[in-house]
Structure formats: C-alpha cells, structure tokens
Structure 1
Amino acid sequence: MIDDYDVTLNQDLPLDVWQYIKNKGFLGMIIPKEYGGKQFSAHGHSVVITKIATRSAAAAVTVCVPNSLGPAELLLRYGTEEQKSYFLPDLANGKQLPCFGLTGPSSGSDAANMRDSGVVCEQNGVLGIRATFNKRYITLAPVASCVGLAVDVKDPQGLLKGKGNPGITVALLERNHPGLQMGKRHDTISIPFMNGPVTGQDVFIPMSKIIGGQERVGFGWNMLMDCLAEGRSISLPASAVAGAKLSVNAVGAYARIRQQFKVPIASLEGIQEQLAIMGGNAFIMTSGQHLVNAMINQHEQPAVISGVCKQQITDRGRDTVIRAMDVLGGAGICKGPNNFLANIFTSLPVIITVEGANILTRSLIIFGQGLTRAHPHLYELIKTIQHGDDLEGFKKELAKLVKHGATNMAGSLKTAVTRSRFKKSNGLLAHYESQMDKLAKNFALCADLSLTLGGKLKFAEMTSGRFADVFSSLYLGFSTMWFYKNNRHIDGIDVLFDYAMTQLCYEAQQGIVGISKNFPMPVVGPFMRRLSFPFGLPYNAPTDKQMRQVSELITVDSGVRSLLSENVFVSKDLNDRVALLNATLPKAVKAGRTLTAMRKQKRTATIDEQKFFDEVEAAREVIIQVDSFEGLGAEIGKPKDFVRPGMIGNKFEKN
C-alpha cells in the first residue's frame, strides 16, 4: 500500500493510507475497547510500530505519536469522565487526530523551564487561564484536530483557592479554539511526516479544558513524566529496531547475492565485520525492546530503563543502519523506489533527537535520575536533610548508606578474587549470569564512590555519561540473557548470544575503566579500578572467528536470520526490492553450494543446473541495479527541448 519513495516526493502520505490508518484503528492502539480502541499491550503496540517502520518512516511516526506521549494517554490516566467520553471514541476511530505541544524555542529537553505561560483569571464569569505559547517541532500539528498544550501557570490573585496549584499544567484544545494557531509545517529532514509550530497569544482556556479539570492545574509535570517514561520506551525503540532488522534482513541477503572478485561480498572479511556488528546490535536491541515491553505489560513504569532503551536502542540502531549503508556502497546513495534503506538512513536524526535528545539522556538522565531513584538509601537520606532538623534520621540513613557501600565493596572484591564460578563449558547462560553479577557489583561499588563528589556529580556530565554506559550495558546484558533463554530452541542462537554478551561485557568493563581514569577526584578513580579489576582487565572484544560465524548466520537461511527478521514487512510482489532479495537468497545459497560441489567433482553443470544458475544470475542482475530518472527537481515537466543549465554553452548543448 505504501510507496515510500512516492511519499517522499509528495511530502505526505497518500489519502488512502491516511484513511486506512484512521479506519483500521492504528491511532487508537492504546485506547481501551470500551471507547472503541484496540487496547493493545505494550508489546503489541511496539511490534506494530516496528513493522510499519520497516516500510515507511513517515507512516511509523504518524502512528507513533497518538499512541505515545499524546492526549489519549493523558486522558486515560488523568482526564475527567466527561473528557474521556468526548475525546476517546473519536481519537480511537480517527475522527480526532491529536498532537502534543511541549517543546518550545527555549525549552526543548529542559521542559521544566518553559517560557510558555498562563495566568489564572476570570472571563465572563468563567474561571480559566489566559495563556501565551510558542511551541515548535510538534508532530502532526499541521493536520491535528486537537492539541495537548503544556504551559506554566501562575495564580497571582489566588483564584484557584486551593483547588489546584501554580505550575506546569496540561490543557486539551480543539483546532477551532479562539486564538489557537496551527497549520504551518517544518520541512523535516528528508522524512515527510507532518510537523510544525503551535502558537497562541493571550488565549483564554476555561478550566473545563484542563486535562483532569481544575484539580489538575499545576500537576502537569508529574503527568508528563509518568506518560513520557512509558511512551519513549516503546515507539522510538520500536522504530530503531525496525531499521536494524530491515538492515540485517535485506543487506544480509544483498551481501550473499552481490558478487565482487567473482565471490559473494559476504565472504569478504571487511564485509563480515560490518554484518556481525549489525547482527549483534539487532539481537541486543530486540532483547532490550522485548524486556521493557514485558515490564510495561506488568504495569511497571521503568523511568530509568525507558531512558536506557530510548538512548541505547536508537543509538545502536543508527550504528546498524550506517554500517548497512556502507555494505550497500553506491547502491545505498542512489535514491529511488528500489532503495529500501535511504529514507530510514535520513530519518536517523529524528529517532535520536525526539522525546529526549540522546546526549541529554545519556549525560544527565540515566545515571543522574537512576542514582536517586534506585539507590536503597540515598533518597531517604536526602529527605532527612530536606526536613532540616531530623538529625537522628540523618544519622540512621547515613549509617545504612555506609554499610551498603561497604557491602558493595566487599562484593566487588570477592567476585574479582574468586573469578567466574562458571566457565563457558558449563553452559553459556550460567557463565554470563556470573559475569553480569560481577559487573553489577563493580558498578554498584563505583556508584557508591561517585557520591564523594556530592553536588558536583550532576555537573560532571562526562562521568555521568560513562556511568550511564555501564548501567546500559548491564540492562542490555540481562535483557539479552532473558531473550536468549526464551529462544534457546533456535539453531545457531548460541553463536549470536555468545557474540552479543562478549561485546556487552567488554563495553561495561571499558566504561568502568573510563570512569576510573577520568574521575574528578584523583584518589578515588584508581581505587575504583583496583577494587573492580585487581588482576587486570578480564574482558576482550569479540574475536574475528565470532564475527565470521555471526555474519554467516545472517547471510543464509537460518533460524537466527528468521528471528532477526521478525516483524519485517516483506511484500509478496517480487518487483519490490526487499521481496526479491528474500526470494533470491536461498537460491543464491543453493547455487553457491552447487558450484562448490562441481569444482570439487571437477565437472560442468547439467542442463537443469545451468538453467538454475541463469535464473539466479538474472535475479542478481536486477538486484544490483539502481534507479535513474529522465529528470529531477526543476527538470520534471520541462519540454523536450529543455537544456540543463550546466550544458548551456557546452559543445554538445543540442544533444
């Protein structure tokens, strides 16, 4: 249904796609059935986004937003019954198309300091808020019928009278609301999804338009953080996984079919290295995606883990797609209907930037928030200080914190001295469980020692970023073990699992080394390393042998290739390049094996074999072609005698 190249040329989805998205309930996946929605689980929502994103980034973004941080989620959690009854059925069936206005010129990631403001006032006897706002980067705003707006509300006259409080507040306005201006578009980087500004000057917003009513005035920050924690761990990671899986599926096949120097490029070690990293990334990313989805399905709100998934999965997705483009070479840089990766490649900055820029997420949020949220005693200690006079409570919590630190120190040293309790020969899972346990204890020790920086820790963003890297490697390591355990029946998965865990253990180790080398307090850094790795560094990066084995698994029909291709859209039409690649791969593998056997037997091909070879060669010839056009840009629609400006004055101008 979707021709992504056509979407790019027209800078919009076609009408039939828009109608299909609305009519089939794609905009209401998270809305309960009682309101006409699909009521999908987090995992169901996630895999739908993944499948769409393997076909069209613009379509995926369009479906993502209403099901992520949008009015529906906020209404379900905080809306009044009247608001739910009015909006949710129409949001579910597509009669209402939502967007959400949070970001402004002065408050991107720093939403707490937004300048969009409102003052509580009365107009014609109605209590409300007079707000001025300037939002930008708002996805779906040019076509949305309603917009959720976050503004910082003040109440200088005390009109709230204890029913609500000053602070960030979320309103839900329909497009025809007096003073609301929306419709302009931003020209987003090569991806034609709807995105634009939402503005308003002195717009009066009655209290009935506040999500949750007057009681929720000033409660917006908590509302947004609760919903963002869930939304950003689903939609954007799902889109990133799509790019990685499509890369493994299509480029893995391309590498086996494409030949250079009379051999498949999949047999060249330089290509094998890229393919192995792509396969390892896709496996790790999918593991992280599935585990966080399972957490959300259990009604957990893993705020820190959602940050890890958003930052790590999108970052690894970017790395995977870039490597895939390197393997494609010239075929990757020529746009057209047959280039299945170009639009995903150009969409990479979008998934990296939106819903919390990755730089901020890594350097501030993951460890900065995680240390306070996850430490068993730190938050309680902080509360005793906030109380001001709770000296006994402070002493009690401080003693607990010191004891906890001593326990972590002993645990870290013990795991280093005793080494691994399980070797690979005892089973890969047991071996890597013991390695993750060791590295987790090392991380806990270093995290405790980071408290020696006191308040300076939040400004040591490079150090915080390295802590985030270690914590992320641990989460992804545990999720990879969990995912492997659920898929151990797949032939060849041991090879991929061993590669992925080798990489994650190495990354965690190097993160700890980086922390210790650069820790702002010179004495503490070396102490961290000695207690973590007293006998040297035990982990190495994956070997060349491991890389060759992984690259082999994704360039032939295998259980691993099938696992990493789940939820990749493959058309039934062999004129589609991804479909042709998938159909040709098993034939190319068979042809290669037959040729190898013929050489060993020192014989020529039979008539049937030669016919089969010709069929494979014909498909290969189609696959390696790229698109070309009679005209592009301003040339389109010009008369036949049109001469390109660069040819004017040329010797062959008339030719």
Structure 2
Amino acid sequence: MDFNINDELRLMVETVRDFVDNEVDPVSQRIDEEDRIPEEIIEKAKEMGLFGLSIPEEYGGVGSIGMLGKCLIYEQLGRTCNGFTTLIGAHTGIGTVGIVELGTEEQKKKYLPDLASGDRLGAFALTEPDAGSDAANIKTTAVRKGDKYILNGTKHFITNAPEADIFTVMAVTDKSKGPKGITSFIVEKDFPGFRIGTIERKMGLRGSHTAEVILEDCEVPVENVLGQEGQGYVNALKILANGRAGLAARNLGSMQKLLELCVQYAQQRVQFGKPIASFQAVQHMLADMAVDIETTRWFTYRVAWMVDQGMKVIKEAAAVKYFASEAYCRVADKAVQIFGGMGYMKDFPIERYYRDARITRIYEGTSEIQKNIIASQLLKEYALA
C-alpha cells in the first residue's frame, strides 16, 4: 500500500485545512445556532472546487484525486461543524457518484458541470418511512407511460433535500422481481409532481437539512433512467459501499479535532492545585482517544487505497464505517468527560460534536447493518467447498 500523494494534492489538502480552521470553524457555533451555513462560506467552498471532488475534470470537477485524495480532504472538513461537512459530503458522495459511475455521456454532460461547480446541489433519495435499514422494501413506484416514467411515493430523511436540485431516486419498476425490480432515476426538483415535504428537526448536524421528498405522479423522462432498469438496488448498495471510507474520514477529522481540544484544555484546567492532564485518569482517556484515532486513520486510508485499486471492498467498507462511527462516539463521550461541566455547555464545541457524532452510527447504514454485511462476507469467504 502506498499512501504518498503528489504535491498538487498536498497543497489542496493544506488549503482546505486552512479554510476550515480559519474561516469555517470560527462561525461553527453560529451555524449550529442559526441552522444555516453563511452564504460566503458556501461561495468560498465553490471557488475551492469542494463541490466537484468526485467529478472528472472533463465535466468541471477536481479530477483524478481518487478515494484516498477525497478522504484526505474529508478528514480536514471533519475538523469543523459537521453540518457543513455533511452538506459537502452528501453532495460529493451519494449525491453525485451515481451519475459519475453509471450515467450515460448525455447525462454526464447535462448534469455534472453544474454539480461540480456547486451551482446545483445533489441528493440521494432511497430511504422511506417503511424502508430504512430494509432498503429493498421501498414502496415508491415508477410506471412507464410513453416517453416518461410516472413516480409515486414518499422518501424521508433525505440529506440536502430542501436545497438540492438533482436527486438520485430509487423506485420500483417491477414489483414481482423484488430487489431486482428497483430502478434508479435522475429527478430534477422542477419536474412536474415533485415537491419537498416536512423539513426534519434534528438533534445535530445543524446547517445540514433533511426533508421528505414527495412524488405525486412525478414525470421523469425515460432518458433519465440511471444505469439499467432493475439494477437500482444493486447500484444503491455499490454507491453506499464505496462512500463509506469517506464517512470514516469525516469522522476521523472530527475525532482529531476533539483530541486537540482536550489536550489543550487538560493542560490549562487546574484542579487540586495542578493541571488535570497530570492525573492518570485523564491521561488514560486521552490515550484511548489517540488509539481510536490512529486505528481509524490507517483503516480508512487502507480501504480508500483498495477502492482506488479497483478492489472489492464490501466487507472492508462496512467494517471501516462501523469502526469509525463507533470510535467517533467513544471519543466524543470522553471529550465531554474531560471537559466536565463545560463539555455540556453550548458555549463550547464539545457539546456540538457530541450531538453530531450520534447520527454516524445510524445514517448510510446502521452499525447493526454493517455487522450483518461483514458477517455475510465472512461466511462467503470461509464457506466450505
């Protein structure tokens, strides 16, 4: 495995870190309180090319930085408000990757340039009220009528939905075939019959918005089928799997920031006449945090490298997403403990990270689903001949 990167990518990573630390982080509390990302931050992110991380250069994107390059950038984005990170991550991950990997040349030319520039925002609509972890149980239907498909159904918890322009939507085209009867569609927000429903009120990820997507006789042109008809469920799993290293990288950045804050605070906070960093109990918490971070770092880089080599990563991607999300929650919990009462106060970022961390064990595949995937792959690998 080779984790070396070229000078151009190294400069980009450093630039993103400077942007995050000096421009985004100072307004992170404001983002959390107002549930809104300042427009100047979004515009600067556009200028830096952050919306085009997954898109080839010929369509206006950053180009060939690979999954490892994306993870190094996601790691820096994770150092600040997770709502901002999620806005970018959902767009550059599941919001656009499907079109990049499965789209026709016409679809790519039509949609990718605006998605790369950030002029249009992407979203991924799979989850439904009765189909969360049981994603194959979606009820949204798509019936072909002439040169259009008519979609009916409701999606919920769709990240970026209130602001998004382009949605990758999963719908059933042949109920008799089960998961093999699900098809992917590229749906524009202005298509007839498309509307946004309830905007969800969440525990964390303030600044990143999720909402219902309601399809009522929504008209989608036949040319907007993404990939082959009946391959939507398989495609959804592939899109989710390859993006899991990116989720781990975002968690990694947040964990690293929490450790830095805790080390600094432990050296400054005095109790019983000495800094709390001198107490073994605090030292052990810092050590546990550091071990979780380093394990997540090299696990994430390895899976990203495997993706770039074109290797099968179903088990590894599930494992790194599972480990990183659980580790993030452990690190956030220890950070609150080290800060004590201050860690519970909204005036300090620790409380925000603690709230934001919890969703990572749920979205884009719960920890339990990841363990199911890992076990399933193990049983296949070690099956008796």
SS in 1 for 2:349: coil
Any stretches of 5+ residues in structure 2 without a counterpart?
1-22
**Aligned pair 1:260/2:271, yes or no?**
yes
Structure 2 counterpart of 1:601: none
Cα distance, 1:38 vs. partner? 0.5
Cα distance, 1:353 vs. partner? 0.8
Structure 1 counterpart of 2:350: 341
Cα distance, 1:184 vs. partner? 4.0
Structure 1 counterpart of 2:99: 75
AA aligned opposite 2:89: C
Question: How do 1:235-274 and structure 2 match up within 5 A?
Answer: 236-274=247-285
Cα distance, 1:237 vs. partner? 0.6
Cα distance, 1:78 vs. partner? 1.5
AA aligned opposite 1:24: M
Relative contact order (C-alpha < 8 Å, sep 6+): which is higher? 2
Structure 2 counterpart of 1:11: 35
User: Quick check: 1:153–1:166 contact (8 Å CA) kept in 2?
Assistant: no
Structure 2 counterpart of 1:426: none
SS in 1 for 2:235: helix
Aligned counterparts of 1:155 and 1:184: Cα–Cα separation in 2 = 28
Structure 2 counterpart of 1:63: 88
Aligned counterparts of 1:75 and 1:191: Cα–Cα separation in 2 = 26
Alpha-carbon deviations, 1:311-350, whole Å to 9, x = none? 11110111011011101101111112xx132211110122
**Aligned pair 1:141/2:161, yes or no?**
yes
Aligned counterparts of 1:155 and 1:135: Cα–Cα separation in 2 = 18
Structure 1 counterpart of 2:368: 359
SS in 2 for 1:147: strand
User: Quick check: 1:229–1:301 contact (8 Å CA) kept in 2?
Assistant: no
Structure 2 counterpart of 1:181: 195
Structure 1 counterpart of 2:322: 311
Alpha-carbon deviations, 1:595-620, whole Å to 9, x = none? xxxxxxxxxxxxxxxxxxxxxxxxxx
Question: How do 1:64-103 and structure 2 match up within 5 A?
Answer: 64-70=89-95, 72-103=96-127
Structure 1 counterpart of 2:214: 199
User: Quick check: 1:68–1:232 contact (8 Å CA) kept in 2?
Assistant: no
Aligned counterparts of 2:180 and 2:333: Cα–Cα separation in 1 = 46
User: Quick check: 1:50–1:238 contact (8 Å CA) kept in 2?
Assistant: yes
Residue 171 of structure 2, aligned match among 148, 151, 157:
151
AA aligned opposite 2:233: W
Alpha-carbon deviations, 1:345-376, whole Å to 9, x = none? 110122111110112222x221123322x23x
AA aligned opposite 2:352: N
Aligned counterparts of 1:50 and 1:343: Cα–Cα separation in 2 = 18
User: Quick check: 1:120–1:155 contact (8 Å CA) kept in 2?
Assistant: no
Alpha-carbon deviations, 1:395-418, whole Å to 9, x = none? xxx6xx3xxxxxxxxxxxxxxxxx
Cα distance, 1:37 vs. partner? 0.4
Cα distance, 1:282 vs. partner? 1.1
AA aligned opposite 2:87: T
Aligned counterparts of 1:274 and 1:366: Cα–Cα separation in 2 = 29
Cα distance, 1:239 vs. partner? 2.0
User: Quick check: 1:23–1:94 contact (8 Å CA) kept in 2?
Assistant: no
AA aligned opposite 1:231: G
Structure 1 counterpart of 2:3: none
Aligned counterparts of 1:301 and 1:65: Cα–Cα separation in 2 = 22
User: Quick check: 1:116–1:132 contact (8 Å CA) kept in 2?
Assistant: yes
Structure 1 counterpart of 2:8: none
Q: TM-score, normalised by structure 2?
A: 0.89
Structure 1 counterpart of 2:339: 328
**Aligned pair 1:168/2:185, yes or no?**
no
SS in 2 for 1:191: coil
Cα distance, 1:155 vs. partner? 8.2
SS in 1 for 2:32: helix
Question: How do 1:392-431 and structure 2 match up within 5 A?
Answer: 401=385
Structure 2 counterpart of 1:368: 376
Q: TM-score, normalised by structure 1?
A: 0.53
Aligned counterparts of 2:118 and 2:250: Cα–Cα separation in 1 = 22
SS in 2 for 1:347: helix
Residue 289 of structure 1, aligned match among 289, 300, 309:
300
Cα distance, 1:238 vs. partner? 1.3
Cα distance, 1:101 vs. partner? 0.3
Structure 2 counterpart of 1:453: none
SS in 1 for 2:226: coil
Structure 2 counterpart of 1:29: 53
Aligned counterparts of 1:20 and 1:92: Cα–Cα separation in 2 = 14
AA aligned opposite 1:149: V
User: Would the alpha carbon gap of residues 356 and 210 (structure 1) be closer, same or farther in structure 2, given more than 3 Å must change?
Assistant: same
AA aligned opposite 1:15: E
AA aligned opposite 1:107: A
SS in 1 for 2:199: coil
Identity %: 25
Cα distance, 1:166 vs. partner? 6.6
Alpha-carbon deviations, 1:39-81, whole Å to 9, x = none? 22212211222212211111100110112112x2112221111
AA aligned opposite 1:305: E
User: Would the alpha carbon gap of residues 104 and 259 (structure 1) be closer, same or farther in structure 2, given more than 3 Å must change?
Assistant: same
Aligned counterparts of 1:288 and 1:166: Cα–Cα separation in 2 = 33
Aligned counterparts of 2:57 and 2:66: Cα–Cα separation in 1 = 12
Aligned counterparts of 2:99 and 2:166: Cα–Cα separation in 1 = 13
SS in 2 for 1:43: helix
SS in 2 for 1:354: coil
AA aligned opposite 1:130: I
SS in 1 for 2:130: coil
Aligned counterparts of 1:349 and 1:239: Cα–Cα separation in 2 = 14
User: Would the alpha carbon gap of residues 166 and 351 (structure 1) be closer, same or farther in structure 2, given more than 3 Å must change?
Assistant: closer
Q: For the pair shown, which has the larger CA radius of gyration, 1 or 2?
A: 1
Residue 233 of structure 1, aligned match among 230, 239, 245:
245
AA aligned opposite 1:58: G
User: Would the alpha carbon gap of residues 155 and 227 (structure 1) be closer, same or farther in structure 2, given more than 3 Å must change?
Assistant: closer
Question: How do 1:453-602 and structure 2 match up within 5 A?
Answer: none
User: Quick check: 1:143–1:183 contact (8 Å CA) kept in 2?
Assistant: no
User: Quick check: 1:190–1:343 contact (8 Å CA) kept in 2?
Assistant: yes
**Aligned pair 1:218/2:230, yes or no?**
yes
AA aligned opposite 1:172: I
Cα distance, 1:183 vs. partner? 6.0
Cα distance, 1:92 vs. partner? 0.5
Structure 1 counterpart of 2:12: none
AA aligned opposite 1:219: Q
**Aligned pair 1:104/2:116, yes or no?**
no
**Aligned pair 1:118/2:142, yes or no?**
yes
